[in-house]
Structures are given as C-alpha cells and as structure tokens.
Amino acid sequence: MEMALPSRKTRLVGDESLENWEPVGSGGFGDVYTARHKDWGFDVAIKIPRTDVGYKEATLMEMVSFEFVLRVYGIYQRSLSTSGGSMQRGIVMEFMRRGSVESLMNDLSGPPPWSLAFRLAHQVAAGMNFLHAERIVHQDLKPSNVLLTENLDARLADFGLSRVSTSALTSSSEQTGETGGTYKYMPPEAFDASYRPVRDFDIYSYGILLWSIVTGEEPYPAVADYSLVKMLVADKGQRPPCEDLEKMGVEGLKELVGLMKRCWVKDPNKRPKFNKVLKETEELFSKHRTAIRDAVDQVLKRLDSPNGNQHSETSASNRRPPHQAPERSMSIDEVDMPSPITRHPPTQGMRREVFHQDAYCSSAKHMTDEEKEKFVDDNRADLIQEVTLVVKIAEDLKDMVNPETYDKIAAKETSQDQMRLLYRSVLDSVGKKVKAAFYDALKRNHYHLVKKHGKI
C-alpha cells in the first residue's frame, strides 16, 4: 500500500518558456534534454518518461527537497493532438552539466581520487538516509543515478522506481511496490518474483555502489545476462572482489570495505540502516577532508582540458600503492558535438542525437527498402518498447498517415501504445514503402536505436 502524497500545487512549464533544446541521453526510462528557461535565465533538464511512472517520480522528488537529492522545478506539459486532449508530460529538473558518477569514471578511465571517493560515499549515504527518513525506497541506486554538481557534489536522481512506504523504519513488513532496478545492484532476495522492495534493498545497492566508486569498475563485468547474475548473486552468494582493495594502505579504506561488505550481506536483517552508515561515512570522510579541494580542482582541470577523456594522473593510476600492477583502462565512446543549430522541443522536429544527419548518413551503409522493411519487422517488439518520439515520427510520415489515424496515435497515453497502433494501422497495412520511410524517420529521431540494433 502506498502512502498518500502531500497535496501541493505543481508548477507547470510549457514550450513557450523553453528554448535551445539539446538532447542529453536516452534509456529505458525515456529521454532527457536540456533547454534554456527564458524567464528563469538558466538551463534546466527535461526528462520525458515513457510512462506515467515518471509523473509520480516528479511528485516524489518535489516532496523530498534535500541538499543531496536532485531538485525538481516543475512539470513540462504540452498538447500532442490537434484537439488538445492528449498531453505529453516531463519532469523539469536541475541540469547537472558534470554528468554522473558513471560518466566521471568513464572520463577518468577509472575511479576518482580517494578524497572525492570518500566524499561521494558520504553524500550518497546522506541523501539515502534522508529518503529513508521520508519512508521512500529509491530502488535503483547505481553510478548513473548519482549526478554531479559543478563542484562534483552528489545529487541522487532517477526516482522512476521509487515508492513511498507506509510502514515504520523498523517494520519487517514494509512494502513499496513492484520490484525493479538494475539487476547487478539488486539484492539476492529481489530475484524472487514475489519480493516486495523495502529499505534493505537500497542498503545492498549502496554496498555495490561503494565498490564501483572506489574501483572505477562495473560489478561482474564478464556477466551480462540476468539469469547468470541471479545464479552468482542469489544462488552462489558471490559479491565483487575486494582483495586488491584490502591490500591498499589508504587511510579509512579498510573500514569502507568492511562497510560495503556489511551492506551486501545475504540476510537483509543484518544490513546496517542508513542512519548508522551515515555516521561511519562522515568519520571516514573526515580523514580526507583536507585533501578534497585539491582533488576536485585536479579532476575539474582534467575534465575541462581538451583531452579530458584520456587516461591521466587524476584516475586510478595515481592511486595505486607501489606494489600494485596498473589497472586496465576502460574503453570510452566519444561523440562529436555538432555545430550550433536551432533547437526545438522533442516533438517539434528536434533530432534525438547530438549528431548531424549528414554525419551518420555519409558513413552508414546504404540499405535497400527490403532491408529497411526487414529491420522494422525483425525489431518490432524492441521498437514498441524503446521508441519514444512516436508522434514526431508520425508527423514525418504525414503523407502516409491520415489525420484521423494521427490523432488516434497522439491520443494514446504511452509511447508503447502509440507504437502498437502505428504498427497496426500504418506499417502493417501499407507495407514496404511506409516501413522504409519509417526506418528513415527512426534513424533521424532515434539514431541510437538503429545503431543499437546493428544497422549503422
């Protein structure tokens, strides 16, 4: 059972207030853009979720205003249909130009300096302690959901799976809603289909997150399959290796490793609560507090340098004790930013990627209409789940989609339902020509999906 959220008037933000749209990223949750708010005079992030879960997320995030939780300014809203009945909603949030802990480790080709790692561990614990005090389970704590301010302070984000609990902190029957999260950060009990997430879920995830922060690595990198991770974590009780960390003579690291191990124990009743974790991380960070300014300056200088994505002394190589062998560098995907162009809201002709169309069309393999048709047919299930700019694509197909069908598509509440109707009413009925045109529109608006499925 979910607790009733406090009533408050939510600020609505429309297209008339936003300009200079830029795409930031895309994932299973939806799409994220940045835009300039004309009246406020600064950039904001707009998250367009795939379902109404994102709207609940915004309400939760508004409810938990806190130093280490990403700030929500309001709800983005615009009409999708000519009748004005169907609305597209998004979450207007702080824009974190520095990215996330995940992107930081990618940019540094390894973990951050020790003092920054200890500060991040403490700030995440502070943010999670606050959420749990408000009886909220985050349920998707991982490096990509810990965003970074200009000064590399942590902000907890992506509450798409969060639920409000009605029970007390000590209740063993605490329930929060459906299970979710990224499976490499899920506790062993969460692999049970009947599991209902509670605060202990986040404690386990925090332990895995700590390991990732101090090593700069993804847990279980050789395992990508859900069932294999379940076998390792739930059935065999395996956890990320700590042997190399335990050999390092870094002040406070032994205690931090001990903390992460207590967080990821199999028995959820034996995991510490965040109010206890917070006291430990505060003490551990105090041992490195005097070095934090130099560490942040060092990292920022590296990030802002022309070769900021190349391996440097800022990363793991500067943290090894003399006896430890060098760590391997992580591969990094680099994307060239385009020259300035006029930006629009996501359903008004904006390209979904930071590529110019010419940049990928010139290098892409030429495909026949038959090959495009096969791509659209073979990837039907995935495209229904992953395509978000359905109305924009339908606009691109205006010569093949009659106005009545377009309005029906726009009126659907979720992008999945819009895609199902587009397939049934247009793609399946017209055939090869429209499927080829759909492929071309998909490549313009969702380049990453075409690339993901191997046709770029």
Task: Tell which wins on pLDDT, 169 or 424.
Answer: 424
Give residue for tokens 């002040």. Answer: 251
With cut-offs at 50, 70 and 90, classify the pLDDT of residue 127: very high
Question: What's the CA gap between 203 and 278, in Å, rounded?
Answer: 12
Q: How far is residue 281 from each of residues 6, 125, 275, measured CA to CA in Å?
A: 31, 7, 10
- State how beta strands 12-13 and 136-137 pair: unpaired
Structural tokens at position 143: 């490096």
Q: Looking at the domain covering 101-318, what would its CATH class be?
A: mainly alpha
Q: How far is residue 64 from each of residues 121, 156, 409, measured CA to CA in Å?
A: 20, 11, 35
Q: What percent of the chain has pLDDT over 90?
A: 38
Domain residue ranges of the chain, discontinuous segments joined by +: 12-94, 101-318, 357-452
**Binding-site annotation: residue ranges:** 47
Q: How far is residue 219 from each of residues 178, 212, 224, measured CA to CA in Å?
A: 24, 7, 10
Q: What is the pLDDT of residues 252-287, one digit of tens each?
A: 999 999 999 999 999 999 999 999 999 999 999 999
Residue among 10, 34, 30 nearest 22 (CA): 34
Which among 31, 107, 140, 396 is annotated as catalytic? 140
Do 190 and 136 meet the contact criterion of CB atoms below 8 Å apart? no
Q: Which residues contact 347 (CB under 8 A, 6 or more apart)?
A: 78, 80, 88, 389, 391, 392, 395
Question: What's the CA gap between 313 and 104, in Å, rounded?
Answer: 14
Q: What is the pLDDT of residue 316?
A: 43
With cut-offs at 50, 70 and 90, classify the pLDDT of residue 159: low
Q: Is the pTM of this model over 0.75?
A: no
Q: How far is residue 434 from each of residues 23, 284, 369, measured CA to CA in Å?
A: 27, 61, 9
Do 440 and 395 meet the contact criterion of CB atoms below 8 Å apart? no
Give residue for tokens 């999906």. Answer: 449
Residues 303-331 have a mean pLDDT of 48
Q: What is the pLDDT of residues 414-435, one digit of tens each?
A: 888 888 899 888 888 767 889 9
**Binding-site annotation: residue ranges for ATP:** 47
Question: What's the CA gap between 190 and 230, in Å, rounded?
Answer: 9
With cut-offs at 50, 70 and 90, classify the pLDDT of residue 60: low
Question: What's the CA gap between 41 and 355, in Å, rounded?
Answer: 26
Q: What is the pLDDT of residue 443?
A: 85
Q: Residues 272, 278, 283, 287: what is their CA dihedral angle, to the nearest 10 degrees?
A: 110
- Where does residue 173 rank: exposed (0-12), middle (13-18), buried (19+ CB within 10 A)? exposed
Distance between start and end Cα atoms, the chain: 46
Q: What is the pLDDT of residues 189-242, one digit of tens each?
A: 999 888 888 999 999 999 999 999 999 999 998 887 888 999 999 999 999 999
Rounded to 10 deg, the angle between the 274-286 and 114-133 helix axes is 160
Q: What is the pLDDT of residue 83?
A: 57
Task: Tell which wins on pLDDT, 17 or 257.
Answer: 257
* 140 counts as catalytic: yes
Give residue for tokens 């008004």. Answer: 348
CATH superfamily to which 12-94 belongs: Phosphorylase Kinase; domain 1 (3.30.200.20)
70-79, 257-266, 337-346: the lowest-pLDDT one? 337-346
User: Coil, strand, or helix at residue 11?
Assistant: coil
Q: Which residues contact 283 (CB under 8 A, 6 or more apart)?
A: none
Q: What is the pLDDT of residue 136?
A: 87
Residues 380-402 have a mean pLDDT of 83
Q: Which residues contact 392 (CB under 8 A, 6 or more apart)?
A: 346, 347, 348, 349, 445
| C-alpha triplet 393, 57, 18: angle, nearest 5° | 55
Do 60 and 159 meet the contact criterion of CB atoms below 8 Å apart? yes
Q: How far is residue 71 from each of residues 59, 74, 96, 128, 429, measured CA to CA in Å?
A: 11, 9, 10, 15, 46
Question: What's the CA gap between 252 and 281, in Å, rounded?
Answer: 9
Domain 357-452 sits in CATH at 1.10.533.10
